Amino acid sequence: MKHNCAAASLVLIFVQWASCQQLSTLVNFRHLERLTEQITFLGERVSIVHVYSNFPDYGWAEAAESGPEGIACVDDAARAAVVYLLHYEQSGSLQSLQRAKSLLKFVLKMQTEDGMFYNFIRADHTINVDGKTSFKSFGWWAARGFWALAQGYRVFKHIDKFFALELRSSIERCFLHLDSILTQYGRRDTIQGYCIPQWMLYKSGSDVTSELLIGLTDYFASESTPRVREVILKLADGLISMQNGDETTFPFGLHRSWRTMWHMWGNGQTQALAYAGKVLSDSTLIESAEREARGFYSRLLINGFFKEMDLTDPSSKVQFEQIAYGVRPMAMGLIKLYEATSRVEYLKMAGLAGSWFFGNNPVRNAMYDSTTGRCYDGVQDSLTINKNSGAESTIEALYTLLELEQYPQAKKYLAYHRARSGSTPEYVFAVFKDVFDNQLTLAIDIKSKNLLLLEENESEAFQSKLR
């Protein structure tokens, strides 16, 4: 009975997904628009994005996970600005451009004169200056703010020079802190045999540094100076120093998140390195991204996603909670690798990664609803969905789908699900199918270290060989 229910659920998901193909897009900004509010803040009209939105009515909810936090933050305004800027670049939508500008104005207001950032504002629209997730710093919310400002500068430089200059001034104030971080360049510690570089955000925070690096690469695309190139390459060197293993050796080319920990959420090193490698024409960065994609991302697709583990104790692996913010870096990293290498297998893998939103997950239910634009906040366990739909989940889903939809060779696999997986002495593999039994086999050849993506007859022949 459980198997039949799961199959029925996947059929329904596919019907919903297929109906959206006829409308040409899976992207729906309705829920993000519902979360967005225009306010007067420090004397200017800006847009904020309310942090939480809870089932069943999906009204606004205040954040209080780490003590009183607030109603909106730089983290989510910056994310939303990135998504709207991307949509403008893809479609020419002036509405998306204006939404991005209004969000960027909020990010600008949250930066201090010394280049740091606060994160949250309270319900009375005052800044939370001392909360655990809001104090003035150059960390997570600064990295996301920098990314949005840099992408904004790249776009507005050609269409609104006065606003672009304001963005550039804000970006330049950040370099004091980047220079301070890089005074530690080359310093490495060791924990149980793992190299711990000391010249990234939070010393070894390669996860947060990856988001900063994406912004720096956007800035370099507009301001191709030796100074910016040097910062990119030094931070990229830190990310690569946090990589271990290869296609067949544990931990299979993954980039650690911090110290000896790996977690799926926000771990955008492949996205950052592939993008920077392409823009800077640096093959070393691209090769590092490929090593993670071919060795570790392939195993996540074959064996299923998980939340985190400490590499010094692989038995510490934790499977749940799984969230959209974990899927986006992986799917986007694979897309950026395709753009850097033209290898179509990365598009197929990106589509398989994105299929998590449409039922290829432990609960076999869609996490994103294209009719409302809502993305659920997470898979809590093998039976339970967190049906709230906050800003982070919604924006990360929209960002992923905006990029996937540009490539039919990726979008096709959003409707596939993992039907079986296994291993032999020669291969680690999984078979993915849609409701029409179209199939794709993803396999790692242990001996040759090759990655195989086989479809239809080739897939069936491979499976027969294993039997």
Tens digit of pLDDT for each residue in 323-340?
A: 999 999 999 999 999 999
> Residue 24: its pLDDT value, please?
80
Give domain status of residue 458, yes or no: yes
Distance CA 336, CA 314 (A): 29
Residues in the chain, total: 467
Measured CA distances, 2 to 45, 238, 364, 383 (Å): 52, 47, 11, 11
The total of structural domains in the chain comes to 1
Structural domain boundaries enclosing 464: 418-467
C-beta atoms surrounding 365 within 10 Å = 16
User: Which pLDDT band, with edges at 50, 70 and 90, does 19 fall under?
Assistant: very low
Q: Which of 64-68, 190-194, 334-338, 359-363 has the lowest mean pLDDT?
A: 64-68
Give domain status of residue 440, yes or no: yes
Peptide bond into 247 cis (omega under 30): no
Give domain status of residue 442, yes or no: yes
Question: Could you tell me what percent of the chain has a pLDDT over 90?
Answer: 93
Query: What average pLDDT does range 386-392 have in this prediction?
Result: 98
Question: Could you tell me what percent of the chain has a pLDDT over 70?
Answer: 95
Distance CA 325, CA 140 (A): 14
Give domain status of residue 246, yes or no: no
Average predicted confidence (pLDDT) for the chain: 95
Query: What average pLDDT does range 266-285 have in this prediction?
Result: 98
pLDDT per position as a tens digit, 217-240: 999 999 999 999 999 999 999 999
Give domain status of residue 450, yes or no: yes
> Residue 270: its pLDDT value, please?
98
Query: What average pLDDT does range 91-106 have in this prediction?
Result: 98
User: Which pLDDT band, with edges at 50, 70 and 90, does 466 fall under?
Assistant: confident
> Residue 68: its pLDDT value, please?
79
> Residue 2: its pLDDT value, please?
47
Give domain status of residue 263, yes or no: no
pLDDT score of 341 more than 80: yes
Give domain status of residue 451, yes or no: yes
Which of 38-51 are b and which e, b meaning 16 or more Cβ less than 10 Å from the residue's Cβ? Answer: eeebeeeebbbbbb
CA 177 to chain centre: 24
Query: Positive or negative, the Cα torsion across 202, 206, 211, 213?
Result: positive
User: Which pLDDT band, with edges at 50, 70 and 90, does 14 fall under?
Assistant: low
Query: What average pLDDT does range 68-74 have in this prediction?
Result: 94
Distance CA 110, CA 133 (A): 14
Give domain status of residue 422, yes or no: yes
- Joined together, the tokens standing for residue 411 give 């979008």
H or E, element range at 73: strand 72-73
pLDDT score of 11 more than 60: no
